[in-house]
Amino acid sequence: DAKTTQPPSMDCAEGRAANLPCNHSTISGNEYVYWYRQIHSQGPQYIIHGLKNNETNEMASLIITEDRKSSTLILPHATLRDTAVYYCIVRTQYNFNKFYFGSGTKLNVKP
């Protein structure tokens, strides 16, 4: 499985931007970076994904470095409801019939 590295936990003040880093230094040229989150024991929730270019949707922005070895998920105005475990997943072109969940980053949004 493609390897990603994320910090185990991060804190963020409510209303501020949350920047969650992910290292995927062994990523190959056609592999996508996906971000999911899990709030308590709910089902993982899709956030965003990208290949090379930066992406933005109504939930978040994804910044991928030019060499594609790392990425950052940005929640522009974190709320208490954004407290969750965030997973960075690299989906391989040869094995795209599963998503591998690592340990993720526990984001604690504080008032």
Partner 1 sequence: EPEVTQTPSHQVTQMGQEVILRCVPISNHLYFYWYRQILGQKVEFLVSFYNNEISEKSEIFDDQFSVERPDGSNFTLKIRSTKLEDSAMYFCASSGDSQNTEAFFGQGTRLTVV
From the list 107, 105, 109, 101, the residue with the least C-alpha distance to 2 is 101
Contact status: 46 vs partner 1 (CB under 8 A)? yes
Residues 88/107, Cβ–Cβ less than 8 Å: no
Write down the least CB distance from residue 53 to partner 1, Å: 13
Contact status: 108 vs partner 1 (CB under 8 A)? no
Contact status: 2 vs partner 1 (CB under 8 A)? no
Residue 71's H or E segment, with its range, is strand 70-75
Contact status: 44 vs partner 1 (CB under 8 A)? yes
Beta-bridge mates of residue 57: none
Q: Which residues bind partner 1 (CB under 8 A)?
A: 30-32, 34, 38, 41-46, 49, 51, 87, 91-93, 95-103
